[in-house]
Amino acid sequence: MADWVEACAVDDIEEEDVIRFDHGGRSFAVYRSPDDEFFATDGYCTHERAHLADGLVMDDIIECPKHNGRFNYKTGQAKGAPVCVNLATYPVRIEAGKVMIQI
Amino acid sequence: MTTAKTKRDYSLVGESTRRAIETGLASAEWYHTDVPRKTMKELMQRSDGPAIRDTIIWLAAIVGSAAGIVWLWGSWWVVPFLFVYGVLYGSSSDSRWHECGHGTAFRTRWMNDAVYHIASFMLMRNPVQWRWSHARHHTDTIIVGRDAEIAVMRPPDLLKAALAFTGILDFRYSLPTLVRQAFGTLSEDEKSYIPEMERHKAVVAARWHMAVYATTIVFAIALRSWIPLVLVGLPRLYGTWHMVMTGLLQHIGLADNVVDHRLNTRTVYMNPISRFIYWNMNYHVEHHMFPMVPYHALPRLHELIKHDLPEPNPSMWHAYREVWPVLLRQLKYEDYYLKRELPPTARPYRGEFHEVDMSAAAE
Ligand code: FES
């Protein structure tokens, strides 16, 4: 059974931005979309080892900082070379101003 | 961590490759100057405006100079038009290919892709293959046995470097490569960086390129004129010099097998025309450290981090004068390289990654 864990406070992430969250030896990226929704994916790109929290959020896209590979962070879908493998996504809910993710 | 005293093997599936993987040089963690996230986010912001403006100027100049060539063909007045058209087609396409390949030139994806494909065609580069080779170039910049885009290998072949300005060698390599790929064959080196699921796309792209060249040849024969070939294909020969002049400076004579772009990459101040042709890629250390920053924001990034980088060369002439004796010395001692000094405000180089014994070369 997956657990809900607190990733950060809502205000820790700016609008249209992403932060890193490490838990239990794993690393995640937590996003705040331009329309103020929250999402979570695996932290590392599926192409090579670059953390997506250093990347750029544009609308519903996260662009990887290393080779500019793009994913839809809401669905995890890889949007073309050099990323070909989708990103794992995780359910998110907001509880009392905290961003909770189910991992 | 270095390959001192060992012959470099530039194949991507050979001895240097094995060693780079074994020693952790391949896919390593690279040095980055600290930039606050908020500032970096601002610098990374995409917009369509600057690239649309520059692309309109670029395409208008291409069409205008092509019209001049057609109009004045047969007279000496055609020469300046060939000069302009050649550089736009054979040189500035390289920076368009590069920026749009990174997806940073425009905010809108399809605009990046459209210009990327046009520029790839002009350069005789397979757009699929080169997207992957450039990703590798960023992962393993000037790591011998890993980087598919090392322009001048060691010991340097100076004749080859000089001939590069004419485009002949690249033309002789690029066209047969496209033909081979169009027939469905990828080399072992190409397979080492193009994932299996993408290889068929490389073959299809090569076929499209060949189809356009075949059509151009048919036109030339039907019209009994050289003009179609002068406009499509041949500018890769007569207009490539500016790309080579600026591009060689990116890494030539600097360190290899290091994980700090300040050691293997060069920033050179250039005149505004060259910067337009080159789309600010003269800020090359900055680009390699932060490939997410679009070309139009590189001057700002440069101002922000220059305290941590070697002093840029003040001109291309200065950079070539500085590197020439280094190349001559590399003919004899291939481990020799130009180590550019950092200002006192910079974080020092990490010694463990560039401890090459250059004492023999210094004698
Ligand atoms: S590591 Fe993310 S695109 Fe290459």
Residue B117: pLDDT band with limits 50, 70, 90: very high
- As a whole number, the mean pLDDT across chain B is 93
| DSSP-based three-state secondary structure for A41 | strand
ipTM computed for the complex: 0.89
Could you say which of A49, A56, A79 has the minimum Cβ distance to residue B292? A56
Residue B4 has pLDDT above 80, yes or no: no
Please report, for residues A32, B60, B62, B227, B319, the alpha-carbon distance to residue B80 in angstroms, rounded to integers and kept in the order given.
53, 16, 13, 15, 28
Q: Mean pLDDT, to the nearest integer, of A48-68?
A: 95
- Chain A and chain B share a number of CB contacts under 8 A equal to 45
Q: Is A66 on the interface with B (CB under 8 A)?
A: yes
Mean pLDDT value of segment B263-268: 97
Confidence band for B362, pLDDT divided at 50, 70 and 90: very low
Confidence of residue B1 (pLDDT cuts 50, 70, 90): very low
The pLDDT value given to residue B297: 98
Q: Does pLDDT of B235 surpass 50?
A: yes
Q: Does the Cβ of A45 fall within 6 Å of ligand 1?
A: yes
Render B251-265 in DSSP notation, one character per residue. TTTS-SS-S-HHHH-
Whole-model pTM over 0.80: yes
Task: Give the closest-approach CA distance of A91 to chain B in angstroms.
Answer: 26
Q: CA of B185: how far to CAs of B120, B177, B189, B202, B307, in Å?
A: 19, 9, 12, 10, 48
Question: In chain B, what residues touch A65 (CB-CB under 8 Å)?
Answer: 290-292
Residue B223: its pLDDT value, please?
Answer: 96
Task: Answer yes or no: do A66 and B139 touch at CB < 8 A.
Answer: yes
Which DSSP state fits B64?
A: H
At B363 the pLDDT is: 44
**Residue B5 confidence (pLDDT) above 80:** no
Instruction: Give, using CA atoms, the residue closest to atom 1 of ligand 1.
Output: A48
Q: Does the CB atom of residue A79 touch ligand 1 within 6 A?
A: no
pLDDT of residue B351: 65
- Is residue B182 over pLDDT 60? yes
Residue B2 above 60 pLDDT?
no
For residue B359, pLDDT beyond 60: no
Give the mean pLDDT of B225-250: 97
Whether omega before B312 lies within 30 degrees of 0, making that bond cis, reads no
CA distance B31 to B349: 9
Once rounded to an integer, what is the mean pLDDT over residues B201-210? 97
Q: Which residue of A12, A44, A56, A72 is the best one to mutate when testing the B interface, meaning the one whose CB has the most B CBs within 10 A?
A: A56
Q: Ligand 1 centre from A77 Cα, in Å?
A: 14
A64 alpha carbon to ligand 1 midpoint, in Å? Answer: 6
At residue B358, the pLDDT reads 52
Mean pLDDT, residues B229-242 taken together: 96
Which residues, 6+ apart, have CB-to-CB distance to B155 below 8 Å? B330, B331, B332, B334
Is A59 an 8 Å CB contact of chain B?
no
Helix/strand/coil percent split, chain A, to 5: 5, 50, 45
Rounded Cα distance, B220 and B225, in Å: 5
pLDDT for A7 equals 96
Take residue A86 and report the two structure tokens written for it. Answer: 């989708």
Are B198 and A84 a contacting pair at CB < 8 A? Answer: yes
> Residue A73 C-alpha to ligand 1 middle, in angstroms?
14
Ligand 1 centroid to Cα of residue B10, in Å, is 24
User: How large a percentage of chain B has pLDDT more than 70?
Assistant: 95
Crossing angle for the helix pair B92-102 and B49-72, to the nearest 10 degrees: 150
pLDDT of residue A1: 64
Measured in whole angstroms, the distance separating CA B118 from the mean position of its chain's CA atoms is 16
The reply to whether residue B135 touches residue A67, judged by beta carbons under 8 angstroms, is yes
Return d(Cα A89, Cα A77) in angstroms, integer. 9
Q: Which of A19, A44, A68, A84 to mutate to test the interface with B (most CBs of B within 10 A)?
A: A68
How far, in Å, from the CA of B177 to the mean position of ligand 1?
Answer: 27
pLDDT-derived band at B350, boundaries 50, 70, 90? confident
Q: Where along chain A do its domains lie?
A: 4-102
Q: For the domain bounded by A4-102, which CATH number is listed?
A: 2.102.10.10
Q: How far is CA B283 from the centre of its chain?
A: 13
Average pLDDT, chain A: 95
Cis before A82 (ω within 30): yes
A65 lines ligand 1 (CB under 6 A): no
Check the CA dihedral A65-B349-B11-B253 and report its sign.
positive
What size, in residues, is chain B?
363
End-to-end CA distance of chain A: 9
In the predicted structure, residue B3 carries a pLDDT above the cut 60: no
H-helix or E-strand containing B63?
helix B49-72
Tell me whether A16 touches chain B (CB under 8 Å). Answer: no
